[in-house]
Amino acid sequence: MSNSHTAPGGGRRRARYGRYTGGPDPLAPPVDVSGALDAIAEDVMAGYSPERALREYLRRGGAGREGYDDLARRVSEKRRELLQKHNLGGTLRDVKKLLDDAVLEERKQLARDVTMDDDDRALREMQMANLPVSTAAAVQELSDYDWQSTDAREKFDHIRDLLGREVLDQRFAGMKQALEGATDEDRAAIREMLADLNALLDKHRRGEDTQQDFAEFMARHGDHFPGNPGSVEELIDAMARRSAAAQRMLNSMSEEQRRELMELSAQAFGSPELMDQLGALDENLRSIRPDLDWSGAEDFSGDEGLGLGDGTGAVQDIAELDALAEQLSQSYGGAHSSDIDLEALTRQLGEEASVSAQILADIERTMRESGLLRKEADGSLRLSPRAMRRLGKALLDDAAQKLGARSGARDSRLAGASGEQTGASRPWEFGDTQPWDVTRTVTNALQRTAGEGPSAPGRVRIEVGDVEVVETEARTQSAVALLVDTSYSMATQGRWVPMKRTALALHHLVSTRFRGDELALITFGRLAVTMDIDELTALPPVHEQGTNLHHGLLLAEQFFARHPGMDPTLLIVTDGEPTAHLEAHGETWFDWPTHPETLRRTVTQLDRVTRRGTRTTFFRLGDDPGLERFLNQLADRAGGRVTAPDLDDLGAAVVGEYLRFRDSGYGEVDWG
């Protein structure tokens, strides 16, 4: 793409446009990490560390997007396909065919040449009939033969030409095609290049080479290096990798194949000097880069024969695929998405695979740099407060939709609308009925338009994003204790993550819409613990039996005692009857099935909590008839009730119950 501009001198100059190569595309849309954040948070709530959760997301990918495991599987499939499709006998096969054709043409010529001496004919026919079985030995025996057939001579000469191009193609990719039909001058230029290259490498090994030496070499022989290396180190790296692959290809052949090829290669171009130069080149490269794999081998087992050059290329492809497999595994210390060679991935799997890997790398970078993941002092990652807010909002929105579906309208109680103004404002959201905060709204509009130039006097242009509404708070305040069961069965029955999602949704609602309320998150397994939302979110599944509701109720009573002026609300999520209680000396007593003493202490503690006028709801998970009877009895005793939501509806059920109790504190609620 191009465009024309007027140059300073009045003429026209043309500007050319191409792919932006100065780093990340500044015009590219921002990466959407909402799906990644949801998936990572889900794994964190299931017990993974944030670092591991991020790694797992990158491995499996998102909805409709390949992950590293998918790309690694494709890499493995291509490697297997290369080995199962090809063998390394292509050059030997081609040489043997040329030799057979040459011998056949010579025999035809001998049979129809009536002017030839009979003894000479018989001798030549005998030589043709008794050639060695070894192709290399037969070629060597015929190297000085005086061919009578012009076609036979051309085919035999082509053997040497083919061998020369193949052995060069082993070290210099593309030489086989570039030297097809080469003249003696072309071959002389190759020998000269090899001599100069070895001289340069010799100086480099001794540490005596200069950039000028490299520049002079490239000026003379740069046409043979289409990769256009910028330094002798780049030149050596490319050539050494190719040479090591050539050696691994030879290692992959049978002993007989290697012997045949070594003998044949000595006759390449009919020039022993060429092979001497190539041998010196291999020695130089191997001594400079001993770190490369010079001793490996591969098991080619297919039907499609590869020549020396193509076989070396296939081994290089396998090495590149192996490197990609390691990069995609991300299993080594300090692994990062930026380690993945996108150019190599494009070569091996195509542009689409490279795009998938780039998107995953962008997601990892954005997650680390956007503040959604926070690095702790010990180097570990945690979900940041910003990530927790985003996650809590998403979970609350989901609960609101389910509550709205039940009532047929948006649940306006989620906005914290009914009550006194808090003095704060917040951005307007669809469905809000609160009055505008005019001062903040106009200020936002003025700040947004300040850089756009003067507007008409007395006019302010307001957009939806400028609008802020007055935040209100209910007249009554609640102290809410959410008790969540963290016993072993919660993890084994798939209830662990829904329980955490519920806690997050309720926490977000209280902390953003009902800031005057107090919320305690209390877990009860073998012991009960009051946790903040970060601790609860990161809590791994507990593989310890025990449902100590007694201890949880003790902590709830202490929480309510600290907030005597608030309406107490008790919400209990559980999937089992109590099987543990706290002894007077602070130790846990456990027994299964429920022991009468555990039952007595639990009921007594519930009576103490509900004596405050606490509004109580039990959320029963599962269909255990014994648990159903037990919770119904507790609810009757506490003047509360029991609900049995599906796991998908647990968050909406708990949020809805909290709102129902708040409604009862100040009368009718506007449902919109």
What beta strand segments (E) does 543-613 contain? 567-574, 580-582, 588-590
DSSP 8-state symbol, 539 = P
Helix axes 50-60, 351-369, angle to 10 degrees: 160
Phi, psi of 616 (to 5 degrees): -125, 135
Task: Please give the angle made by the CA atoms of 375, 362 and 1, to the nearest 5 degrees.
Answer: 150
| Contact yes or no for 14/4 (Cβ under 8 A) | yes
Which class for 647: exposed (0-12), middle (13-18), buried (19 or more C-beta within 10 A)? Answer: middle
Task: Please give the angle made by the CA atoms of 244, 248 and 249, to the nearest 5 degrees.
Answer: 115
Tell me the helices (H) and strands (E) count for the chain, helix number first: 25, 16
Query: Where do we find the tokens 């080469």?
Result: 182
pLDDT at 414: 52
- CA–CA distance, 97 with 141 (Å, rounded to integer): 17
| Contact yes or no for 616/638 (Cβ under 8 A) | yes
pLDDT at 52: 79
| Contact yes or no for 433/416 (Cβ under 8 A) | no
Question: Under CATH, which architecture does the 476-666 domain have?
Answer: 3-Layer(aba) Sandwich (3.40)
Phi, psi of 358 (to 5 degrees): -65, -40
Neighbours of 663 (CB within 10 A): 15
pLDDT at 475: 53
pLDDT at 671: 29
Low-confidence ranges of the chain (pLDDT < 50): 1-13, 15, 20, 22-24, 26-29, 409-410, 412, 416-418, 474, 666-672
Dump pLDDT digits (tens) for 124-134. Answer: 999 999 999 99
Dump pLDDT digits (tens) for 304-338. Answer: 999 999 999 999 999 999 999 999 998 887 788 88
- Every domain of the chain and the residues it spans: 142-299, 420-473, 476-666
pLDDT at 49: 74
What beta strand segments (E) does 451-579 contain? 468-473, 478-485, 518-524, 528-531, 567-574
Residues 6+ apart with CB under 8 A from 395: 501, 504, 505, 508, 651
- CA–CA distance, 21 with 659 (Å, rounded to integer): 54
